[in-house]
Amino acid sequence: MKRSVLLILLLFGCAFGANAQPKPVLRARFLPSNRVAVGQPVRLQVEILVPNFFTGAPEFPPLEMDGAIVTLSEDRPEHFTDQVSGTTYAGIRRFYLIYTQQPGTFTTPVATVSVPYAAKPPETAVVKLSLPELTLSATLPAEAENLDYFLPTSRLTISQKWSSPPQDLKVGDSVSRTITVATEKTKAMLIPPIVFSAPAGVTIYTRSPSVDDQKDAVGEFKEGVRTERATYLFATPGDYVLPGMQIQWWNLSSQKLVTSKLAGTKIHVSANPAYVSEVPPEPEPNAPIRANSVPWRSELPVISWSLLVLSTFVGVGWLIWHSWPRLASRYRDFVCRRRDSEVGHWDTLKKAISSNDAPRSYAALLAWLGRLGVSLNAFQLQAHDPTLDQQLTILSQTLFQQQRLGWDGQALRACLSKHRRLNWASNRKPSSLPPLNPG
């Protein structure tokens, strides 16, 4: 009798195991570890594994962490296979880049990834996988506690170029100086601004900085490059020393504070009797922005609307009740599509700026520009707006303050709104690609 019962239970267990369908799996971890220096680039590796195969790209949501900049890496998703409980799974691996802006403990937010896969080929199923709660600890080395900013990276280079050799100059001559700072695996926006100075008798004209995140041949983020330019105008003869430059940064490899320097430059300026000082022209005022006119629509009489609502209320209520599951599914799909759309990213950026949260605003700005398919540097070049450049510089400076003061992002929001309306929304061009199925 006991043998019969055991045999039945064994057969039942085998049948249950045979009918059980393998489920998708989400795995996540921090790289390189869960304890880092403030500002050190950290990758949150997220792996999605499904039985059979994917029928579409998983939808990775934007993440927000207080006191940190979080962006979804623009690197290509990695495809791989793995064994889970003896079953071969197809996998996709992506990374979030995290830059903590202050010491403390950071926890991954509640978030889900929408994953389409072939549960029973060729049928497609969509499952939502939750991101596990992971903890990250960021500390500030004792050597850096009194610094105005803290810049951790594995490698930093600083170099300079002159428009012409700073020799044999005369009064009225000018020379341009270009300073380039490059950091390995650190976003260009996180490189502190260069401050130009000069002795009396020399006038400086600075240009808007250029920030560029460079990629390698396979499209992976390689280094951030910040370029600053200034022109020196010499109005008085004499001997001058243009001050050198220096940047202090934390070497992640040696765990030491390093100072990279550029030496000062000695310049002799001769008299020039033929030189006549000229007053530079005043900048032209910006043309006023014309608000888009909003067409006015007359309202229908209130009585007509009331009668229409009363006559259709019961029927519409019945349809909604019976169609609710399908409507809810479509609404969730709509929310996901809108969240990943340009409009969705723009709404997220506006909310971040309205809350005057500098790290969150910077992350949302990169995500919005990424959805437009343009880098921050390219956006600045096309906008060609000194006010926009100034506001981005203020945002950049705010990110470096150890004791972060209040930041008001309303001026930045106004600039971005203007250029979105003028350059990105109203002037979008249709694709020039030929139709996939001509004729």
The band of 439, judged by pLDDT with boundaries at 50, 70 and 90, is very low
pLDDT digits (tens, 9 = 90+) for 383-422: 888 888 888 888 877 776 555 556 788 888 888 888 888 7
Q: What is the DSSP letter of 261?
A: E
Bigger pLDDT: 274 or 251? Answer: 251
Q: 12: pLDDT confidence band, cut at 50, 70 and 90?
A: very low
Q: Which 8-state DSSP code applies to residue 190?
A: G
Rounded to whole angstroms, the Cα distance separating 171 from 8 reads: 103
Which residue would you say has higher pLDDT here, 123 or 129? 129
Which 3-state string (H, E, C) describes 55-100? CCCCECCCCCCCCEEEEECCCCCEEEEEEECCEEEEEEEEEEEEEE
Q: Return the structure tokens found at 92.
A: 């996709």
Note if the pTM is more than 0.75. no
> What domains lie within the chain, and their CATH numbers?
21-139 (2.60.40), 142-270 (2.60.120), 342-425 (no CATH)
Task: Take residue 22 and report the two structure tokens written for it.
Answer: 């393998």
Residue 335, both tokens: 């929310």
Alpha-carbon distance values, 375 to 105, 197, 198 (Å): 31, 30, 33
Q: Above 80 in pLDDT, residue 313? A: no
Are 173 and 67 within 8 A, CB to CB?
no
Phi, psi of 249 (to 5 degrees): -145, 155
CA–CA gap between residue 150 and residue 103 (Å, rounded):
11
What mean pLDDT is predicted for residues 3-30? 65
